[in-house]
Amino acid sequence: MKQTGTDVNRMVLHGRAAHPPAFSHRNHEVEFFSFPLVVGRLSGAADQVNVMAPRALLEGCGWLERGEEVTVRGEVRTFNNRSGVGSRLVISVFAKELLLEEREDENRLLLSGTLCKPPSLRSTPLGRTICDMILAVNRRYGRADYLPCIAWGSLAHLCGEMAVGSSLGLDGRLQSRTYTKNLGDRVEERTAFEVSIMNLLPLEEVRLGRELPVRGGSRGAI
């Protein structure tokens, strides 16, 4: 499917670094580092989200230690892992701002994009209705991120009626899910990431610049 234009992709996270940043890769002479961020849910469970940040952002706050609280503003990015190790689709949050502060955990995502595969409507063993979708979210320069999305209940029924090529806006959260994969000679535990849709939004509202403000007082900003 040919994609044109740039879609909305805004992410705000607040949580604790599970490990200090580790070197990931170098691109155009810029070094990038990744670290897992643990973000609590209201249910008491937690999501562990991969964050990617350039060296300059991390050096600006004196690096990050394990357990340190940080707010991340950026966007969700995807790439295909062709190494054969781990999940094929790698989803992370590309950090554009880091803010050291202590406050409640937050996981908020604002997206607009295009439905690029037929939605899959199904029921869980407990009888809840669920809909799986893949949303193509355009970046600049002709690239796009392909994000797995999930909706529940009445929202799942609405999503299930959409056709391939439909444009939609949404807000939600980026959640992690642990599962086991049978590799024949062994069983391996893996983590999958998906966008949990909370609301569908008018495209005009998303594209006209609806913001996701950072709340709370800072201890240090970049």
Who wins on pLDDT, 76 or 4? Answer: 76
Residue 97 has pLDDT above 70, yes or no: yes
Give bridge partners of residue 181 from the DSSP assignment.
188
Which pLDDT score, from 0 to 100, does residue 183 have?
76
Least confident stretch, 97-106, 128-137, 189-198, 205-214:
205-214
Handedness of CA 74, 75, 76, 80 (dihedral sign): negative
What is the rounded average pLDDT of the residues 156-181? 92
> Each residue of 99-134: pLDDT tens digit?
999 999 999 999 999 999 999 999 988 899 999 999
pLDDT attached to residue 180: 78
173, pLDDT greater than 80: yes
Q: Are 190 and 81 in contact (CB under 8 A)?
A: no
- pLDDT at res. 82: 58
Cβ proximity of 88 and 81 under 8 Å = yes
Residue 18's pLDDT band (cuts 50, 70, 90):
very high
Q: What percent of the chain has pLDDT over 70?
A: 88
Highest mean pLDDT among 14-23, 119-128, 132-141: 14-23
CA within 13 Å, CB half, 148: 14
Is residue 156 pLDDT above 80, yes or no? yes
Distances (CA, A) of 185 to 97, 182, 188, 189, 192: 43, 8, 10, 14, 22
Q: What is the DSSP string of 25-65?
A: EEETTEEEEEEEEEEE-TTS-EEEEEEEEEHHHHHHTT---
Judged by DSSP in three states, 123 sits in strand
Domains of the chain: 9-109 (2.40.50.140), 111-207 (2.40.50.140)
Would residue 145 be called left, alpha or beta, if left means φ above 0 and alpha means ψ between -120 and 50 degrees?
beta
Q: Which residue type sits at 76?
A: V
Say which residue the tokens 């006209």 belong to: 208
pLDDT of residue 85: 54
Q: How many CB atoms lie within 10 A of CB 153?
A: 11
According to the model, what pLDDT value does residue 136 have? Answer: 96
- pLDDT of 210 reads 56
For 29-61, write each residue's pLDDT tens digit: 999 999 999 999 988 899 999 999 999 999 998
Contacts of 212 (CB under 8 A, 6+ apart): 10, 11, 12, 73, 108, 110
Helix H or strand E segment including 159: helix 153-160
| Tokens coding 24 | 């990931």
